[in-house]
Chain A
Amino acid sequence: MILRTVTRRLLHAIPVLLGVSVLTFMLLNLLPGNAALAILGPGASPKQIQIVDRQDGLTQPLWDRYWHWLTQALQGNLGSSLLSHESVASLIGHAVPVTLEVILVAQVVALIFAVIFALFAVVIRNPWVDRLLSLVSFGGISAPPFLFGILLILIVSVDLNWLPATGWIPLTQSFTGNLRTVILPAATLGVGEFALHTRILRGDMLEQMREDYVITARAKGLPRRRIVFVHVLRNSLFVLITVVGVNIGKLISGAVIVEVLFALPGVGNLLINSITQRDVTVVQGIVVFVAVAFVVINLGVDLLYSALDPRIRRATSDG
């Protein structure tokens, strides 16, 4: 049954991915300037530009180029950079671990803190704690992430000199070094997530507390703490998983900003650089890669959801 769900979802993804690739192809074509200009510099003559364009195959009609790109991409070949001539796949391959780590650390830490804070608010039931938490989470949701990032850089890096403001040390090179470079970007990216998750989890837990099954649990003589931890938290986590899934897109675009801010060699930075240099094959490759990643992660979240929630689990296996 799960296999059928997966197949259906992947089939649905095909038109989405096609649409994404066509749109990016067309939009990139509309951008003023091109890679040749980036290579040759602003003083290049139209003739020189045309020569480089021809080398890059950019003089062919748009649909021919798209068709060529598509047939190659379907064979796993995303082409190579117009500037460095490195293959797009290997460029992305080098950048992905950075982005993935920042996103994962941000998401996991945000979830852990969100659960702790939401539990605290629900168990304590203090109006002042509630107000403070609402204020913090509301601020976290409304403030743009780069604002928090700049604040962190100013305080933690510039004033206190505790952590580096920019740069990246891979995990394979040094664990502590990696930790020192991941903390600030992950915190910047995670604060909004934390705020959102806390808000949603707290709200849903308070809603669950009004459910009949909670009255049953109270009538059984269960202590409030057990009701919150065992019954309510578990049921509210399902909502949280859904939100995490929905929010992945936001997290990816957030990662782009954070990578630029902290000068991390991730996918986001690669994308921004490629756009400014009109390195269209790299941009095209990244957009399609991100779209595929988005589809796959969402599918993963949905599968996780149905694996955890017995109501859905049974519904899909019965029907």
Chain B
Amino acid sequence: MVTSTEGGIVSTINSVAMEHSLIVERLSVSFKSGAGDVHAVNDVSLRVTPGKTLGIVGESGSGKSVTVRAVMGLLGHSATVTGSACLDGEELVGMPEDQLRRRRGIKMAMVFQDPMSSLNPTMRIGSQVAEAVRQHRKVGRREAWSEAVALLRSVRVPDPERRARDYPHQLSGGMRQRVMIAMALSARPSVLFADEPTTALDVTTQAQILTLLDDLKQRYGMGVVLITHDLGIAARHTDDLAVMYAGRVVESAPTKTLIGAIRMPYTQALMDAIPRIDAPSHSPLASIEGSPPDPSKPILGCAFAPRCPRVGDRCTTTPLLAEGEPGHRWACWYPLGVDA
């Protein structure tokens, strides 16, 4: 990598430090288990820009959620996190829990997949939002409550004064997810992690929630990390994309670039798995053959090789994520559309 552009690289890194709110560098997570360590995330590097959405795409078990939970410090004691996650210039990996806790909710917040189980079922939603408000600012109960109502209004919960007094089970899935978002927004975080925020919702609600996230991102200039297994959603609602497979980023680029020229066969397989509206009805849903590798076993070579249609001799050695074209990185020996 040492070339004549070395000076250029240094200056890019400096400007990068300024323009990104979250820089994840070579983050790895392993879990201790009876049958040896499970390597859930390996050498993942990500960058989050204020006012932009980074999409992390991959199948279940590809390490998307574990990555962001590791950044938030929400993994249990059985997890070992190495590497670096720098939020607004502060290193989060290795930060004591007490300090990390003070940054959760304020600097980074999270919206989860299932808004029913993610809200306390026996607490009024207004109280749950107000609780977040009071956690970050010294305000009285009444003030926190009206702030909560205002937050609910800002995420377009209709009739927020009345709704604030409801319990989670009295709301629809979409409304609950709005409550989760309101809660996450309470302290105007630099980065919002949205972990499959629309997976539990129907399609119409899905679109509403994603549009809401887009609006809020613009309005508050926060960086959003959108985790999804749906490349179609990612294509429409993200600015940058990182595709993960078996705990590694296997392709990353600005969304337009990536969708325009998919290089990694796995990404293409995800693309092909999106049901098409123009396909004849009752045509079988496309799926990716095989299943992801067992993370508790060591992976030799490319993890996708056993399922890959383009597999070749070189796939027995692990391909590294490298910039194949400006801004477009992939980890593949036989990338699509590129003559080897």
Contact = CB atoms under 8 A, between A and B. Distances in A.
A100 interface: no
A54 interface: no
B121 A311 contact: yes
Contact of B103 (A212, A218, A221, A310): A221
A286 B33 CA distance: 58
Given A310-B122, A311-B122, A216 B167 contact: no
A12 interface: no
Interface residues on A, range: 20 to 34
B135 A309 contact: no
B167 A310 contact: yes
B112 interface: yes
Given A311-B169, A314-B169, A213 B101 contact: no
Contacts of A216: 110, 112, 118-120, 180, 183
Contact of B105 (A220, A230, A311): A220
B131 interface: yes
B74 interface: yes
Interface string A204-230: 000000011101111111110000001
Interface residues on B, range: 20 to 34
Given A219-B104, A220-B104, A220-B105, A234 B122 contact: yes
Nearest to A218: B74
Interface in B98-116: 101-106, 109-110, 112, 114
A222 B110 CA distance: 13
B74 A215 contact: yes
Nearest to B133: A220
Contacts of B103: 221
Interface string B113-155: 0100111111100000001100110000000000000000000
B144 to A, nearest CB: 13
A311 B166 CA distance: 11
B180 A213 contact: no
Given A216-B112, A219-B72, A221-B103, A311 B123 contact: no
A222 B136 CA distance: 9
B211 interface: no
A222 B169 contact: no
Contacts of A222: 101, 105, 131, 135
B117 A220 contact: no
A87 interface: no
B170 interface: yes
Given A219-B104, A219-B110, A211 B117 contact: yes
Given A221-B135, A222-B135, A314-B169, A235 B121 contact: yes
A221 B72 CA distance: 10
Interface string B303-334: 00000000000000000000000000000000
A234 B121 CA distance: 11
A213 B135 contact: no
Given A311-B167, A311-B169, A314-B170, A219 B121 contact: no
Contacts of A212: 112, 114, 117-118
Nearest to A216: B118
Given A221-B106, A222-B135, A309 B122 contact: yes
A279 B102 CA distance: 70
A221 B102 contact: yes
Contacts of A235: 120-122
A217 B103 CA distance: 13
B118 A220 contact: no
A312 B179 CA distance: 22
Contacts of A213: 117-121
Interface string A258-291: 0000000000000000000000000000000000
A231 interface: yes
A64 B122 CA distance: 54
A212 B101 CA distance: 17
A217 B104 contact: no
Nearest to B186: A220
A230 B120 CA distance: 10
Contacts of B136: 221
Nearest to B169: A311
Contacts of A314: 167, 169-170
Interface in B250-290: none
* Closest 7 A/B residue pairs (Cβ): A221-B105, A221-B104, A212-B117, A219-B110, A213-B120, A220-B105, A310-B167
19 contacts: A211-B117, A213-B121, A216-B112, A216-B119, A218-B104, A219-B112, A220-B105, A220-B109, A220-B186, A222-B105, A222-B131, A222-B135, A223-B101, A230-B131, A234-B122, A235-B120, A235-B121, A238-B122, A310-B167
Interface of B: 72, 74, 101-106, 109-110, 112, 114, 117-123, 131-132, 135-136, 167, 169-170, 180, 183-184, 186
